[in-house]
Amino acid sequence: MQQSIKNDERKPKQKKQKIDLVKNKPPYLDDIYACLQCGYCNSVCPVYRETGWESLTPRGKVFLLRHLTTKDSFFDKILGKRITDYLTGKGKISLEEAMQKIFTCTLCSRCQTICHVDIDFHQYWLEIRKWMVENGINPPQNSMEMYKSIDKKEFMNPFLEPATKRDEWYRDDYQLPEKADVVYFIGCVTSYNEYQLLLNTLKVFTSAELDFTTLGIDEMCCGAVNTMTGQWGNFKKIAEYNVEQIKKRGATKVVTGCPGCYRALRKYRKFVKFDIKILHTTEIVADLIKNKKLVLTKEFKEKNLPILYHDPCELGRIIQYEGKNLFDAPRYILKNIPGINDFLEFSNNQMDSICCGGGGGLKAFNYDLTTDMVLRKVDEAIELGAKTIVSACPNCKTQFSDGVKLKNEKIENSEEKVKIKVMDVLDIVAKSI
Amino acid sequence: MDDLPKDAESSNIKLKDQIVKSDIYKSLAEIVGEDRISESKLDRLLYSHDVAPLPKELSLLFKIVPDIVVKPRNAEDVSKIMKYAVENKIPVTPRGGASWTFGGAVPAFGGIILDMGSMQEILEINKENLYVTVEPGVRWNNLYENLLRKNLLVGAYPSSAPGASVGGWVNTGGVGIGSYKYGGINHLIRSLEVVLPDGKIINTGCKNVLNNSSGYNLNDIFVGSEGTLGVITKITLKVFPAPEEIRPTSYSFPDLERVGEAILSLTRTNINPLHIAFLDGSHFDLLRELDKDVPSVGAVVNIFFSGDSRIIDIEEKKTDEIMKNFGGKKENKEFAQHEWQERLFESKARRLGPGLVVGESFCPVSSIVDMIKRSQVVLKKLKMKGAVVGYIADSNTALFMSYAVTNEHKLVKNMASMALVKKLADESFKVGGRPGGFGLLFSGNLKKIHGKGVYVMDDVKTAIDPHYIMNPGKLIENSTRFGIPLPGFAMSVGMNAMAILKRILPADKIEVKDNATEHKK
């Protein structure tokens, strides 16, 4: 009932705001017209691979945008738009539907690797979503709720979890200093869903005697979800708040284990003065190992070998596009774990890595689709003979864990069930201390 | 649909449209399920085009927007859909990757679109008998990579490999990269599974061995049929052991005519490279306009070798000599490697327009120099900026894929630019060759090439598809949506008029806008 009242309230507002996409041109209009419609992107798009709908491919979405933003043609002018539309079968399409199509995407940016005319898709999709929201086309309901949840003081995360619960997993066991050189920015997924990873990271940092602290219950969602769903309204506020909290700790470095947070933190620099060094946990741990500050002794259990490394899109390809190489750090760590001489890779790796489905906020919007995506990855892992899937992203970890679980649910015979562990690089490091 | 203007078409048609549509939806949903079917305008619009930038005005002539989109799962689904379509006389257009430039997968009369591009499974890779069986929607680059992982090589693949589907390439009778060594798609097919318009599912060949014994070769009937005879639902291709090495080499020349002479000489030897491609210097000029780091050259020929390294050594040495004789300079390995990686990306210049027209035509290698000159004259006469590029498909066939940059924002000029396709086709006839595909607009050329053979084709079509529901409006029967036939000569008169118009209009300029690359800085 509450929802319906809300909808009723919103309707008159929408009527006042006339959406004119032709006049309010989208950013990167040249890219929209440069698109050759060659369909190369279809061959790499994980969403298209699972659904098979042209409307869910980068090519289809660009075509839609072109259709939505094209001016009246010659015949529109002489025959009238309605008649031409009728004769040609073209004309108006539902904006709601177009929004749904454009948001059905994990923002993995694999399309950029193959684009014939070099469209910067990793920025392009974000900017298009932003443009749509600015023009009054609402994003999916779930992501609007996430936005509101982040905005509220009692939550400060997208999952409607109480802010006071953010440090409940470690506050009793770790007495962290108020000020430190390094701030560990935990991130919402790690804080609330992947507590094992959180504890392992703390264990690693402590045993390396790193001078670090966390933001505790003062941490606010990094805002990545908002940027992904085009809702930039409160991003500056988030940036200001988090930067202030980090500065309060007197830190010179901020480190995070979540590639989403990592990229969002980098974006803060556009909004606030933020000259603190931003690192991913794999970078700092690789450094600690290199400098022999972190000594790894315990052998990795042989029954969990071989391990298979999955490149998270945001930590690999997208960061590469943003000018930083983070392919090597996690691989360096894995090679230095006692008992791991070699590890497997997915046949599509590094720049060509295929998304697990956990990105882009798609999970909240179309869960079934993302499970199809991860199941394909799990199938490949089984084919490669992997016993452990390793990643360096809490979202990927959750997604793969769900994938393995789902895979096993489908297998009735208990002997045939898949025994694949899903771990983060930091989990493995913690185990070998 | 409620607010349709009454004067647009008679209300009868409107009513019929509505009834037929909802009936199609219900009946097809019973076959494939509602999640594999869509009749929303948004979805249908996306199936009304391929790579060719068809102007909106063209849809006044043809009903290029389909009435319904269906994603079948297998041959059985297709068979049921075909039976339904025949019963209700609804046109069916199968669609693969839609990466062609002739509109072959674009409906001419609306109806059902069968999205075969969504069937993307590689069903069997048989190393013992050297074949692979795939669904029609598998993209060539995915097939290539998957086979290479198993140490196998797909013989030839289109120069649009990431966009083109296997089924689509069969239907367009493709030649491409690797055709010089391994032949076109017709040489690679072992067998096809085809659903005929009456719903029968047939296999056209034998998956283990050649099809060369007596008996009508059914494989070849479907090669290049543009989806007018049936729906291909499975393809078995022969594959080859992966070579020890694929070695790209590049030679630069003062001009393209010299390249032509060198290629003619090379094709008259026993050297058997994987692929020979030639590119005009203006191709690189256009790329430099896009801030790409490419050298300024007169022309380039890329020769890719594959096989055992020691044999390649010998072949490369002999090729070096031939190229040197015609004034070619061997480029370094990095350049050659770069050209190998760029082999699938030849249309980057589109961003400059934005817009691109591609004219595809075959010509004998013996008159390749003549054709090069003619193509350059055509580009000059039409005052277009573009490049003469192409590759060698077999020892006496050169495939020209010359392109020119256009501007889609300018309706008249852009329409007139289509004349390039026609003019290049005309030139290819003059040198004893033929134009490439036919698709939506150029089926008038079919009779010019095959003469009375077209009547036999017509008979074949009538025998297999008596109701003319398989991709109507393509190849055989060319007419617009209101039943007005579009004879070849009318098309050619129209195209010639456009060519004259294009010659009158001011020359094409390329302006690189600053904001085009703003975010790349």
Tens digit of each residue's pLDDT (9 = 90 or more) over B23-67:
889 899 999 998 999 988 899 999 999 888 777 777 778 889 999
CA distance A397 to B250: 46
Mean pLDDT, chain A, rounded, equals 91
Alpha helices in B431-475 (DSSP H): 445-450, 453-464
Q: Is the CB of B143 inside 8 Å of chain A's CB atoms? A: no
The three-state secondary structure class of A49 is: helix
Cα distance from A347 to chain B (closest Cα, Å)?
Answer: 8
Q: B122 with B82, same domain? A: no
Intra-chain end-to-end CA distance of chain A, in Å: 54
Over residues B343-373, the pLDDT tens digits come to 999 999 999 988 899 989 999 999 999 999 9
Mean pLDDT of A361-381: 93
Number of DSSP helices (H) and strands (E) in chain B, helices first: 18, 19
Share of chain A above pLDDT 90, in %: 78
Domain that holds residue B185: 118-241
Residues in chain A within 8 Å Cβ distance of B43: 53-55
| Cβ <8 Å between B3 and A82 | yes
Instruction: Examine residue B175 and state whether it is found in any structural domain, yes or no.
Output: yes
Residue B21 has pLDDT above 60, yes or no: no
Which string of b and e fits A115-151 if b means at least 16 CB within 10 Å? bbbbbbbbbbbbbbbbbbbeebbbbbebbeebbebbb
Residue B18 has pLDDT above 60, yes or no: no
pLDDT of residue B15: 39
pLDDT of residue B473: 86
| Range 16-45 of A in CB contact (< 8 A) with B | 28, 30, 33-34, 36-40, 42-44
CA distance B323 to B478: 45
CA distance B227 to A266: 51
Mean pLDDT, chain B, rounded, equals 88
SS3 content of chain A, % helix, strand, coil (to 5): 55, 5, 40
Tell me which CATH code domain A16-134 carries. 1.10.1060
pLDDT of residue A285: 96
pLDDT of residue B62: 87
Q: What CATH number is associated with residue B89?
A: 3.30.43.10
Residue B127 has pLDDT above 70, yes or no: yes
Instruction: Examine residue B347 and state whether it is found in any structural domain, yes or no.
Output: no
Instruction: Examine residue B390 and state whether it is found in any structural domain, yes or no.
Output: no
Over residues B149-206, the pLDDT tens digits come to 999 999 999 999 999 999 999 999 999 999 999 999 999 999 999 999 999 999 999 9
Mean pLDDT of A230-255: 94
- Preferred mutation among A37, A62, A92, A345 to probe B, highest tally of B CBs within 10 A: A37
Residues in chain A within 8 Å Cβ distance of B55: 73
Give backbone dihedrals phi and psi of B109, rounded to 5 degrees, phi first: -130, 30
Q: B81 with B26, same domain? A: yes
Considering CB atoms only, which of B145, B163, B411 is closest to A39? B163
Considering CB atoms only, which of A30, A44, A116 is closest to B345? A116
Please, what is the Cα angle at B164 between B149 and B151, to 5 degrees?
A: 15
Closest chain B CA to residue A75: B57
pLDDT level of residue A7 (50, 70, 90 thresholds): very low
| Range 99-128 of A in CB contact (< 8 A) with B | 101, 114, 116-118, 120, 123
Q: B62 with B90, same domain? A: yes
CA separation, residue B434 to residues B446, B450, B465 (Å):
10, 10, 27
Which of B64, B91, B116 marks a domain boundary? B116
Q: What CATH number is associated with residue B181?
A: 3.30.465.10
* Residue A43 tokens, joined: 């061959």
pLDDT of residue A44: 96
ipTM over 0.85 threshold: yes
Q: Is the CB of A91 inside 8 Å of chain B's CB atoms? A: yes
Instruction: Examine residue B491 and state whether it is found in any structural domain, yes or no.
Output: no
pLDDT level of residue B505 (50, 70, 90 thresholds): confident
The three-state secondary structure class of A429 is: helix
Instruction: Examine residue B189 and state whether it is found in any structural domain, yes or no.
Output: yes
In this structure, the strands spanning B131-134 and B122-126 are antiparallel
| Cβ <8 Å between B411 and A73 | yes
Q: B124 with B233, same domain? A: yes
Mean pLDDT of A300-318: 94
Considering CB atoms only, which of A44, A75, A117 is closest to B351? A117
Element (H, E) at B359: strand B356-364
Considering CB atoms only, which of B45, B142, B160 is closest to A38? B160
The larger pLDDT score, comparing residue A385 to residue A93, is at A385
Which of B116, B140, B157 marks a domain boundary? B116
Which of B195, B214, B241 marks a domain boundary? B241
Mean pLDDT of A322-333: 95
Q: Is the CB of B343 inside 8 Å of chain A's CB atoms? A: no
In contact, B323 and B287? CB cutoff 8 Å: no
Over residues B329-340, the pLDDT tens digits come to 999 999 999 999
Instruction: Examine residue B418 and state whether it is found in any structural domain, yes or no.
Output: no
Considering CB atoms only, which of A40, A64, A94 is closest to B163? A40
Q: Is the CB of B380 inside 8 Å of chain A's CB atoms? A: no
pLDDT of residue B12: 37
- Preferred mutation among A25, A50, A54 to probe B, highest tally of B CBs within 10 A: A54
Q: Which residues pair with A183 in a beta bridge?
A: A213, A254
pLDDT level of residue B415 (50, 70, 90 thresholds): confident
Instruction: Give the residue carrying structure tokens 């006071």.
Output: A164
Instruction: Give the residue carrying structure tokens 């020209």.
Output: B400
pLDDT of residue B416: 84
Q: Is the CB of B319 inside 8 Å of chain A's CB atoms? A: no
Give me the amino acid identity at A46: P
Share of chain B above pLDDT 70, in %: 91
Same fold, A16-134 and A141-290: no
Q: In a 10 Å sphere around its CB, with 0-12 CB exposed, 13-18 middle and 19+ buried, how is residue B414 labelled?
A: middle
- Preferred mutation among B17, B99, B144 to probe A, highest tally of A CBs within 10 A: B99
Query: Total domain count for chain B?
Result: 2
Considering CB atoms only, which of A37, A49, A54 is closest to B51? A37
Q: B198 with B215, same domain? A: yes
CA separation, residue B285 to residues A371, B239, B295, B337, B404 (Å):
47, 38, 8, 19, 13
CA separation, residue B72 to residues B28, B29, B122 (Å):
10, 11, 16
Instruction: Examine residue B517 and state whether it is found in any structural domain, yes or no.
Output: no
pLDDT level of residue B5 (50, 70, 90 thresholds): very low
Give me the amino acid identity at A280: H
pLDDT of residue B490: 72
pLDDT of residue B512: 52
pLDDT level of residue A18 (50, 70, 90 thresholds): confident
Mean pLDDT of A198-206: 95
pLDDT level of residue B442 (50, 70, 90 thresholds): confident
Residue A124 has pLDDT above 90, yes or no: yes
Tell me which CATH code domain A141-290 carries. 3.40.50.1860
Q: B146 with B135, same domain? A: yes
| Cβ <8 Å between B41 and A82 | no
Mean pLDDT of A87-97: 83
pLDDT level of residue B507 (50, 70, 90 thresholds): confident
Share of chain B above pLDDT 90, in %: 68
Considering CB atoms only, which of A30, A73, A93 is closest to B41? A93
Largest CA distance in chain B: 75
Cα distance from B113 to chain A (closest Cα, Å)?
Answer: 12
Over residues B251-276, the pLDDT tens digits come to 999 999 999 999 999 999 999 999 99
pLDDT of residue B487: 66
Least-confidence region, from A47-61, A75-89, A119-133, B426-440: A75-89
Closest chain A CA to residue B143: A43
- Preferred mutation among A116, A119, A123, A347 to probe B, highest tally of B CBs within 10 A: A116
* Residue B27 tokens, joined: 């009946």
Q: Is the CB of B64 inside 8 Å of chain A's CB atoms? A: yes
Cα distance from B496 to chain A (closest Cα, Å)?
Answer: 22
Over residues B90-123, the pLDDT tens digits come to 999 999 999 998 888 999 999 999 999 999 999 9
Contact residues for A279 (Cβ-Cβ < 8 A; gap 6+): A253, A254, A255, A256
Q: B51 with B93, same domain? A: yes
* Residue A217 tokens, joined: 């219950």
In this structure, the strands spanning A344-345 and A307-309 are parallel
Q: B105 with B125, same domain? A: no
Q: Which residues pair with B402 in a beta bridge?
A: B359
Q: B146 with B189, same domain? A: yes
Residue B499 has pLDDT above 90, yes or no: no
Give backbone dihedrals phi and psi of B360, rounded to 5 degrees, phi first: -105, 120
In contact, B289 and B510? CB cutoff 8 Å: yes
Closest chain A CA to residue B55: A73
Over residues B374-389, the pLDDT tens digits come to 999 999 999 999 999 9
Q: B233 with B134, same domain? A: yes
Residues in chain A within 8 Å Cβ distance of B64: 89
| Cβ <8 Å between A89 and B345 | no
The domain made up of A302-431 has a fold known as Rossmann fold (3.40.50)
pLDDT of residue A365: 86
Instruction: Examine residue B436 and state whether it is found in any structural domain, yes or no.
Output: no
Mean pLDDT of B462-466: 93
Residues in chain B within 8 Å Cβ distance of A43: 97, 139, 141-142, 162-163
| Cβ <8 Å between A90 and B49 | no
Residue B500 has pLDDT above 80, yes or no: yes
pTM for the complete prediction? Answer: 0.91
Residue B515 has pLDDT above 50, yes or no: no
Show contacts of B59-62: CB within 8 Å, 24+ apart: B59/A87, B59/A88, B59/A89, B59/A90, B60/A75, B60/A84, B60/A87, B60/A88, B61/B480, B61/B481, B62/B106, B62/B107, B62/B108, B62/B109, B62/B440, B62/B473, B62/B480, B62/B481
Q: Where are the domains of chain A?
A: 16-134, 141-290, 302-431
pLDDT level of residue B461 (50, 70, 90 thresholds): very high
Mean pLDDT of B76-84: 96
